[in-house]
Structure 1
Amino acid sequence: MTTLSPQDEKVVPSGRIERIASDYVLAFDRQLDYPHSYLWSLLAEPEHVAKWLGNLITGWEQGQPYELEVGGTVTGTVLQLNAPLSLQITWEDELDNESVLEWRMLNSNGGTLVQLRARSESRSFLTEGAAGWETILDAFEDVAAGRTPQPQPDRWTKLREAYSREYSVSHTMGTLGKDSGHDSVHFDRLLGADRATIWQALTEPDKFGKWLAPGTLQLQVGGDVRLDFETFSMRGDVTHLLNEQALEYSWCSPEVEQSSVHWLLENSGGKTLLKLRHGLRSKARTAELMALWHERLDALALYLSGAEVHPSAHHREALTHFYRRMAGSAGS
């Protein structure tokens, strides 16, 4: 009998993604064998919060704003504080995404049932948020047991995939990977349109001009590609083409002199999985590229839904800061 190593074991989400009215809710329930008053102290006292969540600048106070450093800065207001049973806060991150979080500590089976609910109007970052809050709860449990939480990037990645599969929701964030030894920007988006429609949106100038950038594309190997963005233009040549499935072209722009963009479309449970890989063959302003693709893929989803696309310089700048921190480099 073959024994799976921990990294090969299938990750199963412990939380749930629910739809309530027009909102999305991330729901977690954990039974911990500790008194709820003890667990409340880990949630309520800043010196303990710093061990598993982040640096709580001001503490929780009913009706008052707070500030929390968790890599970036999160701000919000304490809506309800009922010690030692429940805490409800608004949670606004650096990208202006807002949600409402509620923690509850309930006596249960000689221990405590810890409940966390995160409610938002937006489906953005559902898989990332679910994976993130699950790993945060892991850290909370470690601190409760007297252990020092350890970073879990591999577990976060596997959880992100698991939530996407389990609840058929799309990733939002891009990630950095490797392609033939070079850095590569990766985005996977699950889109609610058929492959033919998305292919047209990728390849027909009158369509991609509405969400990506005005430009031209000669749909044949060796054909010219030009995209005119607000502040720069890119040029390239088509290097690979497989109708309604794959498109690759070279990319030269101020962000990166030598690179290639590869689009792949796959059928996925009645939806279409779009995979974007931007392989960087020279030094690149990676954060700017990731912010650009994040914004334009959001615009693609809006375009496919029939909504108007309105690019925002403020949002692009916020995304750039977000990806710059994620990439761990102030200059890339």
Structure 2
Amino acid sequence: MSFMTTLTPDADKVIPTGRIERVDGDYVLAFDLQLDYPRSYIWSLLTERERVAKWLGNLLDDWAVGHAYELDMDGGSASGTVLQYNPPLSLQITWEDELGGESVIEWRVLESAGGTLLQFRARTESSDFLTEGSVGWQTILEGLEAGAAGRTPDTGGDRWAPLREAYSREYSLSPSMGTVRKESGHTSVHFDRLLDADRDTVWQALTDTVRFSRWLAPGILQLQVGGEIKLDFPTFTLEGDVSYVLNDQALEYSWSSPEVRESSVHWLLSPAGSKTLLQLSHTLRSPGRTDVLLGQWHDRLDALAVMLAGGEAHPSAHRLDALCKFYRRVYGTGQASGGSS
């Protein structure tokens, strides 16, 4: 799905209409829509290709049990297999996105209150992109409602970010995606991650050489203003200077890599109950590849979460490449200027 779909900027609508539940260790995203249309009409919106194209994407072939399908969706794509096709009651498919994430999607179409109750369920093992996916499916289902009424879905404005935060807050789940912002006139790559560890533990993971070598890169860090940071990545060595330290809370150092010559990395930690909100801002002061930086930081922050959970991260070149391509599609070619000094 297109995670970055923009929505009408109406504060009253920036609320989750879906639920995220845990069922047998999986995550289940659930929507229940009461629609004032006949059941047969709603079923046609789910199954007739010309109607599916108006709210979901271009279905390259008809749904058929046991057969593979492909969907072209607003620059993205999805594919999978049809598990169940039971007119006019239910349609169940596997769903694999461009990053390799898998889930099982089911629509159930029930007669209710003189109209139709449309039940949507998406089940997955992982919480990766779950807040973003929740916003994406809410947007898509709002598009289905608009299409059912003969309206063109309203894609003006942007409530994607606050709606993602609303899902994250209500269900205590971490956002996954990074974003591109402007900070003090400079382009900045930004991530918010809700980590399942206290602030001291996360601070040690950022600053202790043994710990950060497990998820970021081997190296050294002198934890004082003017101190040295050196990180030995597989393809280059980063050498920079620490410019700011606030113990257990904030850290900033300079950064130069093949993707950007002049930049700075700023970490901010805030307690969030038993968890910690980590905010990462990588600010560019010269032209740089934001798509690559987003993909690389996304990959490394995933590794940090794995380490904090007691596991060992195993780098995947295929996963990293898929992340960079994903961010390139969302944000363009990624060659951004750093802004004025």
Once residues 124 and 144 of structure 1 are traced to their aligned partners in structure 2, the CA distance between those partners, rounded to angstroms, is 31
Aligned counterpart in structure 2 of residue 19 of structure 1, from 19, 22, 36: 22
| Aligned AA (1:270) | S
Match of 2:5 in 1: none
Distance 1:152 1:174, change over 3 A: farther
Whether contact under 8 Å (2:288, 2:334) holds in the other structure is: no
Give the count of matched residue pairs: 328
Once residues 229 and 117 of structure 1 are traced to their aligned partners in structure 2, the CA distance between those partners, rounded to angstroms, is 41
Once residues 214 and 46 of structure 1 are traced to their aligned partners in structure 2, the CA distance between those partners, rounded to angstroms, is 52
Whether contact under 8 Å (2:287, 2:335) holds in the other structure is: no
Match of 1:103 in 2: 107
> Do structure 1's residue 28 and structure 2's residue 31 form an aligned pair?
yes
Give deviations 1:257-313, integer Å, cap 9, x for gaps. Answer: 111111000001221000001111111111111010000000000101110110000
Match of 2:210 in 1: 206
Residues 20-99 of structure 1: pairs in structure 2 closer than 5 A: 20-70=23-73, 71-99=75-103
Aligned counterpart in structure 1 of residue 200 of structure 2, from 179, 183, 196: 196
Task: State the SS of the aligned residue for 1:210.
Answer: helix
Whether contact under 8 Å (2:218, 2:232) holds in the other structure is: yes
Aligned counterpart in structure 2 of residue 167 of structure 1, from 164, 171, 177: 171
Q: CA RMSD in A?
A: 1.5
Q: CA deviation at 1:87?
A: 0.4
Aligned counterpart in structure 2 of residue 148 of structure 1, from 145, 148, 152: 152
Once residues 124 and 88 of structure 2 are traced to their aligned partners in structure 1, the CA distance between those partners, rounded to angstroms, is 25
Give deviations 1:86-126, integer Å, cap 9, x for gaps. Answer: 10000001111000000011110011111100000111111
> Do structure 1's residue 126 and structure 2's residue 127 form an aligned pair?
no
Point out which structure has higher relative CO (alpha carbons under 8 A, 6+ apart).
Answer: 2
- TM-score with structure 2 length normalisation? 0.93
Distance 1:322 1:273, change over 3 A: same
Residues 257-276 of structure 1: pairs in structure 2 closer than 5 A: 257-276=261-280
Once residues 200 and 89 of structure 2 are traced to their aligned partners in structure 1, the CA distance between those partners, rounded to angstroms, is 52
Give deviations 1:189-242, integer Å, cap 9, x for gaps. Answer: 111111111101001111100000111111111111121112222222111110
Once residues 65 and 314 of structure 2 are traced to their aligned partners in structure 1, the CA distance between those partners, rounded to angstroms, is 37
Match of 1:185 in 2: 189
Whether contact under 8 Å (1:135, 1:152) holds in the other structure is: no
Q: CA deviation at 1:6?
A: 5.5
Moved more, 116-125 or 225-234: 225-234
Gaps spanning 5+ residues in structure 2: where?
Answer: 1-7, 337-341
Gaps spanning 5+ residues in structure 1: where?
Answer: none
Match of 2:256 in 1: 252
Distance 1:6 1:78, change over 3 A: closer
Task: State the SS of the aligned residue for 1:146.
Answer: coil
Match of 2:3 in 1: none
Match of 1:312 in 2: 316
Task: State the SS of the aligned residue for 1:30.
Answer: strand
| Aligned AA (1:129) | G
Task: State the SS of the aligned residue for 1:209.
Answer: helix
Distance 1:65 1:255, change over 3 A: same
Q: CA deviation at 1:180?
A: 1.0
Give deviations 1:115-142, integer Å, cap 9, x for gaps. Answer: 1000001111111111110011111111
- TM-score with structure 1 length normalisation? 0.96
Query: What is the percentage of aligned positions where both structures have the same residue?
Result: 65
